[in-house]
Amino acid sequence: MSKLAIVSNRLPPRPDQAGARAQEVGGLVPALLSALEMSGGGLWLGWSGRAAPEHGAPLTWEMNGSRVVGIDLNEREVDLYYNGFCNRAVWPLMHSFQGRVRLSRQEERAYAQVNARFARRLAEYLSGGETVWVHDYHLFLLGRELRRLGHQGRIGFFLHTPFPAHDTWQILPQPEEFLEAMLDYDLAGFHTRTYRDNYVYAAERLIGASWDGSCLSASGRRQRVGIFPIGVDPARFRGPSREMGGGGRRHRSLWEEAGGCQVILGVDRLDYTKGIPNRILAFESLLRSHPQWRGKASLYQICAPSRTRVTEYMEQKRTVDALVGRVNGEYAEHNWVPVRYLYRSYPQARLAQFYREAHVCLVTPLRDGMNLVAKEFVAAQDPEKPGALVLSRFTGASEELRDAILVNPYHPEDVADGIQRALTMSLEERIARHRKLAACVERHSSRWWFESFLAELASTRK
């Protein structure tokens, strides 16, 4: 296998990086580090996360035998490329939130410039034959720029978000140019058949590409297109022992914290795509339609801070704060709080404990490329006494986890019915559903994901 270079917008934390972020290593980082290790060590390049006045020498550090290279952006690039085009244009567009898309030619130019600078910096570390794996919507144009610089090795691209319907895609400035640039990748990978089909249809309609069932062809180029649903490493979540706090203090379980109530758990970044206000309204609908759960069930909503400098995310936090306050003000008793709202991040080991202790996991985004929380919850369950998963139909995970309770997150009463069904489900049914869900999570693990993608990329002809 040739040496591997990975490119993404953000990087794994440095080993010496203190604080919460150093512990917030999700399923993607270990999977990609394993991919680098399997290739004999390689390179991971991305934004350092810093805003520096000038483009100086990149930060570099070693991790698991591979070199990590962090490129600084200046304040203008952070504002126009990241906070601007990536988060105010491409992110809402990919999730079909057309009304939230904000377009600016200045931001579009900054996006192209940063993609080109990433490519130039990457080329300095390449000898010509390495395999390059580019990740996500921040870097649609990087493959084209790398080809212009003369790279002859294979280049793959994986999209972690949905790919929207072609009429939504056309909201993007110069949608044909973006598709033409994406064809410079030898392999384009998507989570689901729906996302792949949307991409193929857009390429057929907008740039006249032809599709033979496995490859797109246009302008003398041929691209393999595949479906690779990302997974988790089940062993990282399976059967964790009760985590100990500082000085050997044992963390209280969620059940103990809730005073013996049924625990309904939500774990999300604070992002409008996650449908957190809709979820709180659905829980309120449950309390109205099934008042027997008042004092008997609590929603624990963990919200990890996200993109705190972007206006839309600040507004989302204010909305959630106000909604939690209103519901708790209306329904709380002296010994019971309906919604326990935790605006913070937790390390993976603690999340695994929460998953294992929850009676119900509520995963109800309005739109999500995959949603690994659903798979993490399944992996963490006690197979003899599993919790129940309530899952949005508008997640990539719902195309695999068909034995979850599938709900429409836009319909609060439908979600409330799903919660009621989960809370009253017999142990026998929970075990039967969990057995099928766990088999799927084991089959499509994070290791399967990166091995399948890289094997497919290696099979493309140069």
- Indicate the pLDDT class of residue 244, thresholds 50, 70 and 90: very low
What confidence category does residue 95 fall into, taking pLDDT thresholds of 50, 70 and 90?
Answer: very high
Confidence tier at 240 by pLDDT (50, 70, 90) = low
Model confidence at 24: pLDDT above 80:
no
Q: Stretch 278-283: mean pLDDT, rounded?
A: 98
* Average pLDDT of the segment spanning 18-44: 70
The CATH classification of domain 4-231+446-458, taken from the options 3.40.50.2000, 3.40.605.10, 1.20.1250.20, 1.10.12.10: 3.40.50.2000
Categorize the per-residue pLDDT at 113 as very low, low, confident or very high, splitting at 50, 70 and 90.
very high
Residues with Cβ within 8 Å of 358's Cβ and at least 6 positions away in sequence, in order, are: 254, 263, 264, 265, 300, 377, 387
The model's pTM: 0.94
Query: Which pLDDT does position 182 carry in this prediction?
Result: 98
Tell me the DSSP string of 414-446. Answer: HHHHHHHHHHH--HHHHHHHHHHHHHHHHHT-H
Query: What is the per-residue pLDDT for 251?
Result: 67
Beta bridge partners of 7: 45, 134
User: What residues are labeled active site?
Assistant: 160, 368
Q: Give residue-wise pLDDT tens across range 126-139.
A: 988 899 999 999 99
Closest CA to 168 of 195, 136, 140: 195
Confidence class of residue 55 from pLDDT cuts 50, 70 and 90? confident
In this predicted structure, what is the pLDDT of residue 14?
80
Buried b vs exposed e over 389-400: b needs ≥16 C-beta within 10 Å? bbbbebbbbbbb
The residue among 401, 450, 364 whose CA lies nearest residue 160 is: 450
| Residue 176 reports pLDDT greater than 70 | yes
Common-topology check for domains 4-231+446-458 and 235-242+249-443: yes
Report how far residue 255's alpha carbon sits from residue 431's, in angstroms, rounded to the nearest whole number.
20
User: What is the b/e burial string over 100-117, where b = at least 16 CB atoms within 10 angstroms of the residue's CB?
Assistant: ebeeeeebbebbbebbbb
H/E stretch holding 118: helix 105-123
Tokens representing 362 are: 């509520």
> Does position 307 have pLDDT exceeding 90, yes or no?
no
Domain boundaries in the chain? 4-231+446-458, 235-242+249-443
- The three-state secondary structure class of 157 is strand
For residue 253, the model assigns a pLDDT of: 75
Question: Mean pLDDT across the chain, nearest whole number?
Answer: 92
Question: Over 60: is that where the pLDDT of 204 sits?
Answer: yes
58-74: average pLDDT: 92
pLDDT at 245: 43
Band (pLDDT 50/70/90 cuts) for residue 250 is low
Class for domain 235-242+249-443, per CATH?
A: alpha beta
Mean pLDDT of 337-356: 94
- pLDDT given at position 65: 85
